Structure 1
């Protein structure tokens, strides 16, 4: 006997271990995903007969649960992408051919990755039946296969895997035959069907803890320290604004990011010092994942290119705040008076992505300050930028989420940052 633990998507098992923790899937979840669920492993009749022990159920039923749509952004940040799923599937096909001694197996035309995905996503997972089919049921194998009994020819074209025929329901048959990739990548495949987006990913660990096989403190939500990404910005305002935007607008991934000095005086203010900081990290072969974020102005673009010339390793990456359509025709003032200019790459700091429609201030405007000879471009700054920042900080979280405050440009910043962070590769 013993106690098992599974990572599931709906009723489909993606990963299984018995009498030990197996793979740690805490990184898929956050602390707020901890909940309680009734478990088939619990003898509820016993607790009805022994009400004095019912308090044990609080720990016995502990489970992490999160909808698939909220897990996918976390997988993307960790590099578990659909492209990686394709690579793993194609490796299984080549491995099956290499290990096979069966002439018929060698002649088999395996499903392409696209065909595999179509098979995996043919039916919404919420529709799969999980009721146990008794062993003495006539034609049990066929009945257990459910609707998939009509698709056996396709299942036979899946790459070989050391699995068994111990299935007892439609969902367990599907899990046994189709879930041939690592659990993280199967989640990406299943996400291709939009109807799976609200199906829950669950990691029920209460029973194995209660049975004494694993200590409770082994199960924690959130990413590990080595999975976190350090965000280094030009100044404190950049860090504070991006940090708050992540916390409020993209809370499902905010635990992935650490920031250099959000609350105290910034240790390397300005583009030049940020590049020097990067040079220092390169000299000591730092293993942390780092993303350098530069303003989309003349100085930021110049510094960004200087850092790129340093050829940083895969665990270090640089980005500019994104070009936006809204900045292609922006009011500016300089030696030639008031004009409408494209300020992308010339004068876009983090404050430009805030809501610039404040009644007590005139229309937003950039003032050109100096000409950068080394990059042949004027550098400018947003007028009253501190006031736009104060207005942003004065908003409640609900105002930022509801649309009462225009956070559309800010969302483009943090979505770009999340995309760039997903391209940072940890040193193994």
Structure 2
């Protein structure tokens, strides 16, 4: 007999294993995604007769569950993008073409669906509408009944590559799983996300029964980013790290656990761009395998240091990045020897505090002051006036006001989304 474990989206199975864990999908979930739910794999009559074993029942009912819309950002940051799914599908088709080329019975030649056609077909029916009731083998026309609405799509189905599970179905939902879910679970989740009606459909990983049966230890099932999936963000100052970390935790909580920081709450070891460059040099010498983003302010000193790191030819698991250029910084007040003028401060004076809400009643309009000239990049370096006050105002905001209040987080969102995009390009060392 044995016990199965499946990763499912609604009633559609994406990954199946029996008597062992199979792929580890804990990274799809976070703290708060652990639930207890009734399972078809549990003998509830037994527990009615043995109420003293209710603690074991609690273990048997455990699973992780999360809506698809909140799983997609976690897929994206690990490189499981829609384009990656496209490449996987094209590889499956290429293999099918090669195999059928040796089969004389394959006449006429199959014209397989393009990836876009495949996606459109997979998303034709909202997953929540699919029937999952078991069709008994003795039922007349059992195959047709099990296929449900897909029975009328036979011509399209012939153009989808065959898999070893294509004949294993007993309901409309299981038919979609067997005949259409031919890609990895991560890729199929991206495909199903193309249908907006699937956004709030739950993805579940029901592990309680296989733990309760003794096949796998409970400790094997943990939610959250794995150590090898995490990215260290190294900044030139403690303020940078604190602002980025809090912004991720509050504004992008679905991926915040993929990022770690150096001494966010303690003394910062890399004051200034020079020390951060030295830190990068040290990591290069010892050939560290961690994924690292070296983040520099978008000012003249940051640009200077960024270019120095670029010349070092960082390995694939490391990347130097600047805070992003913003349109809001192209017409910024700046004080220099000839008074105040409007300047583009991108690459010259946009330290991280510039990305905060700069509307403070007790101060005039935000302004930078030009301080020193950087010959190596032929640009003046500027500093935001009252930057500590802007930072304090940010720290003083309750979490809920940062999410939904009057505090302007528009520039912060552009900053952290730019960092998340850079994180996708950092390749983990296997």
TM-score, structure 2 as length reference: 0.97
State the partner residue of 1:274: 276
354-363 or 105-114, which deviates more? 105-114
Measure the CA separation in 1 of the matches of 2:42 and 2:429: 42
1:143 to 142, 145, 152: 145
Aligned: 1:358 with 2:348: no
User: How far, CA to CA, are the matches of 1:311 and 1:208 in structure 2?
Assistant: 47
The CA distance in 2 between the partners of 1:105 and 1:36, in whole Å, is 49
Residue 104 of structure 1, CA deviation: 4.5
Question: Which residue of structure 1 aligns with residue 46 of structure 2?
Answer: 46
2:63/2:206 contact within 8 Å kept: yes
Name the residue aligned to 1:399: 401
Which SS does the other structure have where 1:168 is aligned? coil
CA contact (8 A) 2:60 2:212 kept: yes
Distance 1:259 1:166 in 2: 47
TM-score normalised over the length of structure 1: 0.98
* Kept in 1: contact 2:162–2:179 (CA 8 A): no
Q: Match of 1:55?
A: 55
Give the C-alpha shift of residue 31 in structure 1.
2.1
Q: Secondary structure at the match of 1:317?
A: strand
| 8 Å contact from structure 1 (residues 296, 321) kept in 2 | yes
Residues 1:97 and 2:90 are matched in the alignment: no
Shift of 1:164: 4.3
1:404 is paired with a residue whose SS is coil
Matched, 1:180 2:182: yes
Q: Which residue of 2 aligns with 1:223?
A: 225
Instruction: Output the CA distance in 1 between the equivalents of 2:106 and 2:70.
Output: 39
Report if the CA contact (8 A) 2:64-2:206 is conserved: yes
RMSD over aligned CA atoms reads 1.2
Gap regions ≥5 residues in structure 2: none
C-alpha displacement of 1:97? 2.1
Q: Give the alignment partner of residue 239 of structure 2, picking from 237, 240, 245.
A: 237
The answer on whether the counterparts of 1:31 and 1:220 sit within 8 Å (CA) in structure 2 is no
Aligned residues between the structures = 428
Gapped regions of structure 1 (runs ≥ 5) = none
Q: Distance in 2 between matches of 1:160 and 1:77?
A: 30
1:101-148 deviations in whole A, cap 9, x for unaligned?
Answer: 323437111111111111111111111110111111110100100000
- CA displacement, residues 332-366 of structure 1 (integer Å, 9 cap, x when unaligned): 11111011111111100010111111111221111
Cα deviation for residue 55 of structure 1 reads 3.3
- CA deviation map 1:256-288 (0-9, x unaligned): 011112122221211122122212212222111
- Provide the rounded CA distance (Å) in 2 between the counterparts of 1:234 and 1:104: 65
3-state SS of paired residue (2:32): helix
Q: Distance in 1 between matches of 2:280 and 2:399?
A: 33
User: 3-state DSSP class of the match of 2:106?
Assistant: helix
C-alpha distance 305-104 of structure 1, shift in aligned 2 (>3 A): farther
Q: Which deviates the most, 49-58 or 140-149?
A: 49-58
User: 1:79 touches 1:422 (CA, 8 Å); kept in 2?
Assistant: yes
Whole-angstrom distance in 1 between the partners of 2:231 and 2:320: 12
Q: Which is worse superposed, 64-73 or 151-160? A: 151-160
CA offsets, 1:368-423, max 9 Å, x none? 11111221111101101011111111111111111221111111111111111011
For residue 380 of structure 1, the aligned residue among 364, 379, 382 is 382
Query: What is the 5 A alignment of 1:165-314?
Result: 165-314=167-316
Return the alpha-carbon distance in structure 2 between the equivalents of residues 372 and 384 of structure 1.
23
Partner of 2:334, secondary structure, is strand
- Residue in 1 that maps onto 2:65: 65
- Residue in 1 aligned with 2:412? 410
Answer yes or no: is 1:7 the counterpart of 2:7.
Answer: yes
Shift of 1:52: 3.0
Distance in structure 1 (CA, Å) of the matches to 2:76 and 2:160: 26
In structure 2, C-alpha distance between the alignment counterparts of 1:164 and 1:70, rounded to whole Å: 29
